[in-house]
Every structure is written in structure tokens, then in C-alpha cells.
Amino acid sequence: ARFFGGRDMNNVRVSFLSSFLLGITTTAVLAALILLFLHPIMMFLNIPEELYLQSESYIRILITGMLITVIYNVLLASSRAIGDSFTPLLTLLLSVGLNIAGDLFMICVLHTGVWGAAAATIAAQAITMSICAVYLLRKYPFFRIQRGDFRLVNYKMSKNMMLTGISMGLMNSLIGFGSLIL
């Protein structure tokens, strides 16, 4: 947002790429750790035996699809950073609508159960992420990443992004952990 306000489109691109790469890297590490320690986490949470397999499949699908969620959120955050708050609102509404329709289809029509609800969530985000990406890349050329842009990655900028985002990440993790407990 700061670079966009200062009309520094080169750094808008670099910050977009940095946040994108930071999100992907962090997600890969966290997803691997969660999947590695899923059984001990679920044992700690005292998941009833009759719900264990359903809970495990639901969580595994959501964690596996976490990369889609992160890319989707980076796109929406980047859109908001340049002052476009309407696109994130529309894509969020679309994602919710697709998720509800997907849940109903997977559970009521295909009778997939819990894993179908998780798959519908990831599918809704994947569809919405794709639509959002196409729209943003067509409308805002400074979001179009080229192969040569990777040499422009600013590690100091990435470090500042990470330090700034840690508090928000911890807050979201606590909310997510609370949801997991419920």
C-alpha cells in the first residue's frame, strides 16, 4: 500500500512477489509440520474415537489445501493494499456461495460426509482464487510477475513483512486452533 501510494510500481511488484513467496514458503513449512504432528495434536485435543477418522480426513484436506487459501488471501490483501476493496468483497461473497453450494452437493447429493465438506471449501477457494487472479492480472499489470522479477526479491522487505505479520499470524492461529478444538 505504501509503495502504491507513492506511485513506486517497481516496489509494488517486488512487495507483491515477496509476499507471495513468503506466503508459499511459510505455508509449506507449517503444512508439513501440522501433517507430521497431526496425530499427537489430535490426541492432545482428546478427539473421541468415533470422530477421529472423520476429523483427521477433514483436517488433512484443509491443511493440504492451505496453499490455495494462502494464495487467495495474498491476492485479496494485495487488492486491498492498492485501494480496491470491492474485488475482495465480491470474491468473498462468491467463495461463500460456492462453498455452501459445494457443501450441499457433496453432502446431500454425493453423500461424501465430512471430507466432502472440506473438499468443497478448498474447491470454492480454488475457483475464486483463479477468478481473482485472472481479474487482478488483467486489470493491474504491476501484479504480472515475470521470470526476471525473482532476482529483484528484497530479503530485507521480506523480513519486515514477516516480522510485521507474526502478530497477525499468531492471532489467526489462535482463532484456528480454537476452531479446531471446537
Which amino acid appears at position 24 of this protein?
I
Q: Quick one: pLDDT at residue 154?
A: 73
Q: Quick one: pLDDT at residue 94?
A: 94
Q: Quick one: pLDDT at residue 163?
A: 77
Low-confidence ranges of the chain (pLDDT < 70): 182
Burial track 87-113 (b if 16+ CB lie within 10 A, e otherwise): bbeebeeebeebbeebbeebeeeeebe
Q: Quick one: pLDDT at residue 145?
A: 81
C-alpha closest to that of 20 among 78, 85, 64, 95: 78
Q: Quick one: pLDDT at residue 165?
A: 76
Cβ proximity of 120 and 105 under 8 Å: yes
